[in-house]
């Protein structure tokens, strides 16, 4: 409760929350506002926004309604953001918790693996994964999650390193608790706040990664994603720049919203920074 009140006090956090709610509202209302398939032909191609009252945001080079693609694309972006973040955080927590709690050779092995992932730029790794496993939307989402886990893992490990030597953990051991129970039921709740905050960063990056893939035409072409629309607009960038710019603004707003919410969460969950 205290954390929620602290969150609501931050103006930037409130702007972020409003923006994010707007994107979520777009995603939820897509079927109702634009019941037709957003990828179907709607009218004459390359109409400027406002030129035709039927197409508020104009049409793209194949004559598809841009507004419909933006609304339906919100679903894809949020879905990819949430699922990929979930995968990354889950792997990160398990790897980081085991490494931080056990230390010794377990830590050495897990951290060397993590570093192996970190030394590769994650976009390159993503390209390799998509090239090998194909580019339907499920594969892309999972691949983004799989390349994003090292940072959350290191964060979790750092939290566990400082928490595992606390006396309450020793107390749990003297009560006869097993390791798994201590790790996930006793230490993890104490380590969660910074991980939750970091999840917002992972989510923003996940949305950007998908757009980057789509821009290279390596994402799933059969879904109406913002990245696909930008990629499509690339061909007419100099004359009909709005085709790329409109989804670009949508991505910008969403990533900004997620980041602001993350900042707000950080201020609310991290009591040491409060009052500064």
Partner 1 sequence: MSALLRLDGLTVALPPGADRPHALEGVTLELHPHEVLCVVGESGSGKSMAASAIMRLLPPGVGIEAGRVVFDGQDLTEADDATMRAIRGAGIAMIFQEPMTALNPLRSIGDQIGEMFRIHTALPGSEIEARVLTLLEEVRIPDPRLAARAYPHQLSGGQRQRAMIAMALALDPKVLIADEPTTALDVTTQAQILALIRDLQHRRGTAVLFITHDFGVVAEIADRVAVMQHGRVVEQGPAVQVLEAPQHPYSQALLAAVPPLGAPPPRPIAEEPILVMEGLRKTYRTGGFLGRGARVTQALRGVSLVLPKGATLGIVGESGSGKSTLARCIVRLIQPDGGAVHLAGIDLLGLKRRAMRQATKRIQMVFQDPFGSLNPRRRVGELVAQGPMVHGMPRRVAMARARELFALVGLDPAATDRFPHEFSGGQRQRIGLARALALEPDVLVADEPVSALDVSVQAQVLRLLAELRARLGLSIVFITHDLRVAAQVCDLVAVMKDGEVVEQGPIGRVFTAPAHPYTQALIASVPGAPAARPGALL
Does 177 contact partner 1 by CB under 8 A?
A: yes
Distance, CA of 76 to CA of 81 (rounded, Å): 8
What is the nearest approach in angstroms of partner 1 to the Cβ of residue 5?
13
**Positions in 185-204 near partner 1 (CB under 8 A):** 186, 189-190
If one asks whether residue 174 binds partner 1 (CB under 8 A), the answer comes out as yes
Please identify which residue in 172, 201, 253, 256 interacts with partner 1, judged by CB under 8 A: 172
- Of 54 and 274, the one with the shorter C-beta distance to partner 1 is 274
Of the residues 25, 171, 196, 252, which one makes contact with partner 1 according to CB under 8 A: 171
Q: Is position 275 an interface residue for partner 1 (rule: CB under 8 A)?
A: yes
Residue of 167, 238, 239, 272 interacting with partner 1 (CB under 8 A): 167
Counting contacts by CB under 8 A, is residue 161 touching partner 1?
no
User: Does residue 175 belong to the site contacting partner 1 (CB under 8 A)?
Assistant: yes
> Which positions from 54 to 73 touch partner 1 by CB under 8 A, shown as an x/- string?
--------------------
In the complex with partner 1, the residue whose CB is nearer, 188 or 223, is: 188
Tokens of residue 75, six digits: 């679903």
Is 173 near partner 1 (CB under 8 A)?
yes
Looking at 65-73, 102-110, 176-184, 220-228, which segment touches partner 1 (CB under 8 A)? 176-184
Kindly determine how many residues on this chain lie close enough to bind partner 1 according to the rule CB under 8 A.
Answer: 17
194 vs 221, beta carbon nearer partner 1: 194
- Exposure on the CB side of residue 8, measured as CA atoms within 13 A: 4
Please tell me the distance from the alpha carbon of residue 273 to that of residue 50, in angstroms, as a whole number: 47
Please spell the DSSP secondary structure of the chain, one letter per residue.
-HHHHHHHH-HHHHHHHHHHHHHHHHHHHHHHH--S-TTS--SSSSPPTTTBTTBTT-B-TTS-BHHHHHHHHHHHHHHHHHHHHHHHHHHHHHHHHHHHHH-HHHHHHHHHHHHHHHHS-HHHHHHHHHHHH--SHHHHHHHHHHHS-HHHHHHHHHHHHHHHTSHHHHHHHHTT--HHHIIIIIIHHHHHHHHHHHHHHHHHHHHHHHHHHHHTT-S-TTS--HHHHHHHHGGGTTT-THHHHHHHHHHHHHHHHHHHHHHHHHHHH-GGGTT-
Question: Residue 35, interface with partner 1 (CB under 8 A)?
Answer: no
Q: Which is nearer to partner 1, 53 or 189 (CB)?
A: 189
Do the beta carbons of residue 258 and residue 22 sit within 8 Å? Answer: no
- Does position 259 interact with partner 1 (CB under 8 A)? The reply is no
Cβ of residue 156: shortest distance to partner 1, in angstroms? 16
C-beta of 31 vs 179, nearer to partner 1: 179
- Residues in touch with partner 1 (CB under 8 A): 166-168, 170-178, 181, 186, 189-190, 275
């Amino acid at each position: 409760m205290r954390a929620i009140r602290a969150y609501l006090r931050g103006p930037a956090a409130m702007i972020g929350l409003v923006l994010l709610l707007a994107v979520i509202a777009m995603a939820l209302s897509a079927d109702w506002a634009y019941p037709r398939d957003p990828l179907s032909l709607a009218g004459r191609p390359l109409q400027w926004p406002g030129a035709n009252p039927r197409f508020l945001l104009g049409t793209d080079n194949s004559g598809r309604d841009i507004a419909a693609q933006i609304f339906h694309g919100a679903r894809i972006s949020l879905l990819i953001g949430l699922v990929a973040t979930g995968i990354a955080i889950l792997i990160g927590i398990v790897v980081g918790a085991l490494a931080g709690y056990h230390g010794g050779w377990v830590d050495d092995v897990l951290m060397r693996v993590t570093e192996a992932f970190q030394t590769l730029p994650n976009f390159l790794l993503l390209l390799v994964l998509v090239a090998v496993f194909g580019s339907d939307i499920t594969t892309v989402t999972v691949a983004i999650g799989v390349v994003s886990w090292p940072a959350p893992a290191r964060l979790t490990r750092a939290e566990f390193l400082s928490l595992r030597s606390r006396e309450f953990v020793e107390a749990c051991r003297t009560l006869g608790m097993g390791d798994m129970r201590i790790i996930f039921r006793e230490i993890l709740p104490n380590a969660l706040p910074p991980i939750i905050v970091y999840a917002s960063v992972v989510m923003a990056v996940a949305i950007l990664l998908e757009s980057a893939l789509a821009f290279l035409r390596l994402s799933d072409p059969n879904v109406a994603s913002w990245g696909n629309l930008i990629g499509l607009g690339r061909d007419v960038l100099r004359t009909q720049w709005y085709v790329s710019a409109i989804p670009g603004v949508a991505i910008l707003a969403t990533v900004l919203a997620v980041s602001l919410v993350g900042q707000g969460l950080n201020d609310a969950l991290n009591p040491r920074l409060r009052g500064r």
